[in-house]
A and B are shown apart, each in its own frame.
Chain A
Amino acid sequence: MNRINQKLKEDKKLLSIYFTAGYPEIDDTVSIIQKLELSGVVDMIEIGLPFSDPLADGPTIQASSTAALKNGMTTEKLFKQLKDIRPFVRIPLIIMGYFNPVLQYGVEAFCKKCQEIGIDGLIIPDLPVDVYDEHYKATFEKYGLINVFLITPQTSDRRIRYIDSISTGFIYMVSSASTTGAQSGFGSTQTDYFERIANMNLKNPQIVGFGISNNDTFTQATRYAKGAIIGSAFIKHLTNNGANSIDDFVSRILNL
């Protein structure tokens, strides 16, 4: 069974951490992953493959992507860095990136490489559900990869049902109409939305992302959802502290 599905079965709220590969320093990728694993409380990691034009991202992740590319990060380099990551890291690993770099690498070659390394899933925000379904689903499945789709407060119930029917892991629930890192706290608009989705009884669990930055927002999101993803807030931590004191950061999120 895919590590993501296994993890989703655990009876706990999940903490997933996103970071941009090759940031702050080119060789930080592996040590950040190891430190997140060693913390013992992080359940999943999203490794960001940097892109020159990250449309869905706010200023924090944009800046980290630009810096990572400047540091010399490439798709090939990322795969090299991750080559021996298993079995030192046992939690699910997901690569999150935009479609063009994947397309240029070759979708099948990319998926094959992911399987060799032990990547469990992909999040590609600008690969639309219908294109995936028609052209790429078979390839992803052949290499045992779970593709994760996003929904937003504006996504219609009908489309959410469709996305749920295509999904095989979890649904990435974007907390509000925004790019990454834009929120500061959740209001009733968000909690109404979280509740609405929870009441739909989807077959896939939901994990909330965008706007989770501290214990407060983590707790609010996971009251309704299976877990939450922290991206920009962690990148800010890396910007200020380098790849150090990662334990402190995740402890603060979970209020340990």
Chain B
Amino acid sequence: MKNTYNINDKGYYGEFGGAFIPEMLYPNVEELRQNYLKIMAESSFQEEFHQLLKDYVGRPSPLYFAKRLSEKYNTKVYLKREDLNHTGAHKVNNTIGQILMAKRLGKNRIIAETGAGQHGVATATVCALMGIECIVYMGEIDIARQAPNVARMKMLGAEVRPALSGSRTLKDATNEAIRDWINNPVDTHYIIGSAIGPHPYPDMVTRFQSIISEEIKWQLKDKEGKEDPDYVVACIGGGSNAAGTYYHFLDNENVGIIAVEAAGKGIHSGKSAATSALGKEGIIHGCKTLLMQTKDGQITEPYSISAGLDYPGVGPLHSHLYKSGRGEFYSATDDEAMTAGLELCQLEGIIPAIETSHALAIFEHKTFQPDDIVVISLSGRGDKDLQNYIDYFKL
């Protein structure tokens, strides 16, 4: 297989990636870089990882043929049901992998950042499972608007620390987690929740999430007699569910890669999180990638109705897919996403997370052929968003 779109041995996807970190983080990140592939290749690691994915997470997640949605858009739509995972989203695939990694590195304290709280809950969950101390940084504003997930994390035994700096949202929670790691360089592992951060994080997270496309291949073979769909579609904030959904198709150009970002109130409204359209190459949280910034290089505040897509950067893999033209990038507004989410409820009886609803809005932007096989990553369930849906639709 060609290896054009995957990471190179220096930690870059094309021109994006790398590890732009202060020296204080170097020993931690270097320890991880030197060990992550080796540890992941150990048979005992693979065994434990897959056992937990099966018995604890409930994998494989179904690949469901969405009959009524397919009829409506006159194409063949499959939904990869990551929403049925334990904790309600794809996030847990990565936290299971990283907690096993942390244990093998001899770490006894876990830190994480979270925006909407999904990654925080998934991290608190695996820490409870392993009996390891867990501290989750969350923006003060997000703590206020995501109360149920804050309560979940607390019930799971995690300490939730408010990020009080900057805009007090996901970007600042990430800054605080990085500062914690600087202050605790020996015993602590930082579980980053998306395919972002300094190398090797984007690659490590992508590999843990790649179980999604691994399963799609054999599941589709069962159902359609072929492994490759015509398109894989995912929403992108930092881009971990997308990275996992694309991974095994990256170098197979017969499979179209489609990304849907959050346009918020509209790309040019000043309230958007459509990073590929609005971003410029720069450095955020330790990697070179596309990010939303002023012309002076100050990182700006994104906006989306979905807290999980409300991030000013995008993973370096996705910047490369965008810049190289390998991926087709679209963006869905708040309104388009909410409408698509409600449509899924009523056509298929599935309430999606608002993040996921952005991927479902692809049908507003692209028409597929009747015999196209389109696999959409149904990255999370909508329970956490009920209040948002209630407010939006005045239910």
Contact = CB atoms under 8 A, between A and B. Distances in A.
Nearest to A177: B185
Interface residues of B, number: 34
A213 to B, nearest CB: 17
B165 A52 contact: no
B370 interface: no
Nearest to A105: B297
A155 interface: yes
Contact of A52 (B23, B178, B185, B299): B299
Contacts of B58: none
B23 A125 contact: yes
A61 to B, nearest CB: 11
A177 B188 CA distance: 13
A74 interface: yes
Interface stretch (B45-53, B66-74, B243-251, B281-289): B281-289
A63 B165 CA distance: 8
Q: Which interface residue of A51, A104, A150 has the most chain B CB atoms within 10 A? A: A104
B23 A174 contact: yes
Given A74-B296, A103-B297, A150-B23, A179 B179 contact: yes
A104 B284 CA distance: 13
Interface stretch (B14-22, B212-220, B258-266, B386-394): B14-22
A62 B165 contact: yes
Given A102-B297, A177-B182, A127 B20 contact: yes
A138 interface: no
Contacts of B254: none
A117 interface: no
B293 A159 contact: no
Contact of B299 (A76, A100, A182): A100
Nearest to B300: A52
A215 interface: no
A214 interface: no
A212 interface: no
A101 interface: yes
A200 interface: no
Interface string A128-162: 11010000000000000000011110111001000
A99 interface: yes
A126 B165 contact: no
A198 interface: no
A150 B22 contact: yes
Contact of A103 (B178, B282, B285): B282
Interface string A40-62: 00000000000111011011001
Interface in A90-123: 98-105
Contact of B298 (A51, A129, A159): A51
A66 interface: yes
A69 interface: yes
B295 interface: yes
B147 interface: no
Contacts of A102: 297
Given A154-B186, A174-B24, A178-B182, A128 B166 contact: no
A178 B19 contact: no
Contacts of A127: 20
B146 interface: no
Interface in A198-214: none
B26 interface: yes
A62 B21 CA distance: 17
Contacts of B286: 55, 126
Contacts of A105: 296-297
Nearest to A154: B27
A190 interface: no
A75 interface: yes
Contacts of B23: 125, 128-129, 149-152, 155, 174
Nearest to A155: B23
A54 to B, nearest CB: 8
B140 to A, nearest CB: 14
B8 to A, nearest CB: 14
Nearest to A55: B178
Interface in A12-52: 51-52
Given A100-B282, A126-B283, A56 B297 contact: no
B167 to A, nearest CB: 9
A23 to B, nearest CB: 15
A104 B285 CA distance: 16
Contact of B175 (A55, A99, A126, A150): A55
Given A52-B300, A53-B166, A53-B172, 15 more contacts: A51-B297, A53-B284, A53-B299, A55-B175, A55-B286, A100-B282, A100-B283, A149-B23, A150-B24, A154-B27, A174-B24, A177-B182, A177-B183, A179-B182, A179-B183
28 contacts: A52-B300, A53-B166, A55-B178, A55-B286, A56-B179, A56-B182, A59-B165, A62-B166, A100-B282, A100-B283, A100-B297, A104-B296, A128-B19, A128-B21, A150-B24, A152-B24, A152-B185, A154-B24, A154-B26, A155-B26, A174-B24, A177-B24, A177-B184, A177-B185, A178-B24, A179-B179, A179-B182, A182-B183
Interface of B: 18-24, 26-27, 165-166, 171-172, 175, 178-179, 182-186, 280, 282-286, 293, 295-300
Pairs of residues from A and B, 5 with the lowest C-beta to C-beta distance, nearest first: A104-B297, A101-B297, A125-B22, A150-B23, A52-B298
